[in-house]
Chain A
Amino acid sequence: MSGTAAPTRARLPGLAPLAEWGMRHRVFGTWLALAALPLLLPSTALATSVVAYGLYALGFNLLFGWGGLLSFGHAALLGGGAYATGIAIAHYGAPWWAAIGVAPVAGAGVAFLMGVLAVRTRGIYFAMVTLALSQCAYHVAYQAVGWTGGENGLRGVNLREVALPFGMVLDGLDPRVRYGLVAVAAGLAVAAVSRVLDSPFGAALAALRENEARARACGYDVRAVRLLAFVLSGAVCGLAGGLLAIHLSVVPVETMHYATSGLAVMLAILGGMHSFFGPFAGAAAFLLLESAVARWTEHWPLVAGTVFMLCVLFFREGIWGTLVGWLRR
């Protein structure tokens, strides 16, 4: 959480230090969660989804929670990375490291193109411009059938083998291997995001969120800081998209749909936009609930909407933010 100095009150012995530890070692804590996730969740596939969407929400929150900018166009960044990885594998048979490597580059590239236009605006206009631009990206993906498969989605994103140094080759079709790949990539990205938040740029971003006019008067170029935040957010979300493509073996065109943009907003708020781990927790809660609810009703969106509303009304800091708040009290 930002530099807020919380007043000390009576603490629950034992649990408050745990919360403090988690906040001080947010990267290591997240790594532990990544290691434990497949053991805690009913299926490895679900765990993989949680990690990919958790990373997506984390990347989104770099802009939203830390930068104070609400984008409704992040589907284009997730989709950009997903298609880049998908095309690399399906069209070019790229090895795993190249297929994953192009995803953040593509996400950052799409983000740069969107950001150059979007950072001139703020507030609701920023949300609208990013939404409009992502709809353009959706349209391109829909039309470029030769590359993306159009409305049928990009099929055949099959990563058959994961070749490691010293001649080790893992079976890319084994869900556990995929989880490992996705979790390691996400774990590195999480460390990178944490590092960005601790950087001078991270401080500038927080200042901008708190008071734009003052930040500008201090000498910060508001547009440059925002554009960089958007591009970095795009790199993280692009990577998440690439990991999702490998996980699903397909890139549906819906990846680019604006509902996917809305999902990022929802996951971040559900988990807690003011905490580092919140977006991950939001993704875990959302997907777990979805898989449970989908078993007895087809009205999942209704349930999701209700849960989200309740959360916004009663847990302003999201599931994770509220939990940490309780522990530290």
Chain B
Amino acid sequence: MTAGGAALRAEGLGKSFGGFRALSGVSAEFRAGLLTSVIGPNGAGKSTFFNLLTGAFPPSEGRILFGGRDITGLPQHRFARLGIAKSFQITAVFPRLSVAENVRVAAQALVSRLDFWSHRARLRGLEERSAALLARVGLSHRARRAAGELAHGEQRALEVAMALAADPALLLLDEPTAGMSPEETRGFMDLARALAGERTVVLVEHKMKLVMGISDRVLVLHHGELLAEGTPAEIRADERVRRVYLGQRA
């Protein structure tokens, strides 16, 4: 995929919960090879948008196109197999499995799911892949621990390794730094920036400051609608965005 083409496109996406419209008419484009951040205050609809883009639930209206193909309404596991990976806002790992197995089984989902007769150790390359990814997110020394025993920040890093396990073309992260220490956050933002060099990254973040330095594009959601879109500089200069983020200068 060449940088600049649309990896993922949302067309008029909307979602209602009962009578409540959490998101309405959002059209946006996530260009390949770029890091796009989705920001907005609490309850703006960021997670809802994120969940629609990752297939967690179908939209009430609109379409989702991935590499030009309409994937609206596909079951979530199909999204994953197409190369769309995500990390959750609330940490989700396999707590009683070892850290290494967490990543290994995430990688396995792409190559073998229902084979109940061969030995899993015979799947080539998965253990190596798991080890390499753990090294990348700085968790090698924890590989043999149960994932549930890790500190919060470490679990977040593990989540990213799991999301990367399938070598996705598109990586979506929902507030990956929530609960991380400032130091961990900085390290993480470096990682996110590095990842954007190899694949399309979408970062959902509540704190505007964090993403401005590393994003190529920024989308601003407010009350379930797309308020503004542009480069970090354009967003910083936008009067409406300033009003929404009153007191939280970037």
* Contacts from A to B (Cβ < 8 Å): 2-5, 195-196, 198-204, 206-207, 210-211, 213-222, 224-225, 228, 232
B24 CB → nearest A CB, Å = 25
Known: A198-B119, A200-B112, A200-B113. A5 touches B146 (CB 8 A): yes
Whether the pair B80, A218 counts as a contact (CB closer than 8 A) is yes
Whether the pair B108, A204 counts as a contact (CB closer than 8 A) is yes
| Beyond known contacts A200-B114, A207-B97, A217-B163: 4 more, CB 8 A cutoff | A3-B98, A196-B116, A200-B123, A218-B109
Within the assembled complex, what's the spacing in Å between the Cα atoms of A228 and B112?
14
Whether the pair B105, A204 counts as a contact (CB closer than 8 A) is yes
| Chain A: CB-nearest residue to B83 | A219
Within the assembled complex, what's the spacing in Å between the Cα atoms of A206 and B105?
9
Known: A5-B145, A213-B92, A221-B77. A201 touches B113 (CB 8 A): yes
Contacts of B112 in A (CB 8 A): 200-201
Q: Which of B104, B108, B110, B116 gathers most chain A CB within 10 Å?
A: B116
Checking B93, B95, B120 against A198 with a beta-carbon cut-off of 8 angstroms, the contacting residue is: B120
Within the assembled complex, what's the spacing in Å between the Cα atoms of A220 and B162?
13
Contacts of A218 in B (CB 8 A): 77, 80, 105-106, 109, 162, 165-166
B144 within 8 A of A: yes
23 contacts between A and B (CB under 8 A): A3-B146, A4-B96, A5-B98, A195-B117, A196-B116, A196-B117, A199-B117, A201-B115, A203-B105, A204-B109, A206-B94, A213-B92, A214-B88, A217-B86, A217-B92, A218-B80, A218-B106, A218-B109, A219-B166, A221-B75, A222-B77, A224-B114, A228-B116
Within the assembled complex, what's the spacing in Å between the Cα atoms of A211 and B158?
14
| Chain B: CB-nearest residue to A199 | B116
B54 within 8 A of A: yes
Whether the pair B80, A217 counts as a contact (CB closer than 8 A) is yes
Checking B95, B120, B163 against A210 with a beta-carbon cut-off of 8 angstroms, the contacting residue is: B95
The B interface is mostly helix, strand or loop, or mixed, namely: loop
Checking B98, B104, B106, B117 against A4 with a beta-carbon cut-off of 8 angstroms, the contacting residue is: B98
Contacts of B109 in A (CB 8 A): 204, 215, 218-220
B186 within 8 A of A: no
Contacts of A213 in B (CB 8 A): 56, 88, 92
Top 9 nearest A-B pairs (CB, nearest first) are A219-B80, A210-B94, A219-B109, A201-B116, A200-B112, A218-B109, A214-B92, A3-B98, A3-B101
Within the assembled complex, what's the spacing in Å between the Cα atoms of A211 and B87?
13
A103 CB → nearest B CB, Å = 19
B81 within 8 A of A: yes
Contacts of A4 in B (CB 8 A): 96-98, 146
Whether the pair A221, B113 counts as a contact (CB closer than 8 A) is yes
Contacts of A200 in B (CB 8 A): 108, 111-116, 118, 120, 123
Within the assembled complex, what's the spacing in Å between the Cα atoms of A2 and B97?
7
Within the assembled complex, what's the spacing in Å between the Cα atoms of A198 and B123?
12
B218 within 8 A of A: no
Contacts of A198 in B (CB 8 A): 119-121
Within the assembled complex, what's the spacing in Å between the Cα atoms of A263 and B248?
61
Q: Which of A198, A200, A215, A228 gathers most chain B CB within 10 Å?
A: A200
Whether the pair B120, A203 counts as a contact (CB closer than 8 A) is yes
Within the assembled complex, what's the spacing in Å between the Cα atoms of A5 and B145?
6
Known: A5-B144, A219-B80. A224 touches B94 (CB 8 A): no
Contacts of B81 in A (CB 8 A): 219
Whether the pair B120, A3 counts as a contact (CB closer than 8 A) is no
B76 within 8 A of A: yes
Contacts of A195 in B (CB 8 A): 116-117, 119
Residues of chain B from 118 to 162 with CB closer than 8 A to chain A in the complex: 118-121, 123, 144-146, 162
Within the assembled complex, what's the spacing in Å between the Cα atoms of A225 and B97?
18
Within the assembled complex, what's the spacing in Å between the Cα atoms of A286 and B104?
39
Whether the pair B77, A219 counts as a contact (CB closer than 8 A) is yes
B170 within 8 A of A: no
B122 CB → nearest A CB, Å = 9
Contacts of B117 in A (CB 8 A): 195-196, 199
Whether the pair A211, B95 counts as a contact (CB closer than 8 A) is yes
Residues of chain B from 29 to 78 with CB closer than 8 A to chain A in the complex: 54, 56, 75-77
Contacts of B104 in A (CB 8 A): 203
Whether the pair A228, B77 counts as a contact (CB closer than 8 A) is no
Whether the pair A2, B92 counts as a contact (CB closer than 8 A) is no
Within the assembled complex, what's the spacing in Å between the Cα atoms of A211 and B148?
12
A4 CB → nearest B CB, Å = 5
Within the assembled complex, what's the spacing in Å between the Cα atoms of A216 and B81?
10
B6 within 8 A of A: no
Whether the pair B97, A210 counts as a contact (CB closer than 8 A) is yes
Contacts of A201 in B (CB 8 A): 112-116
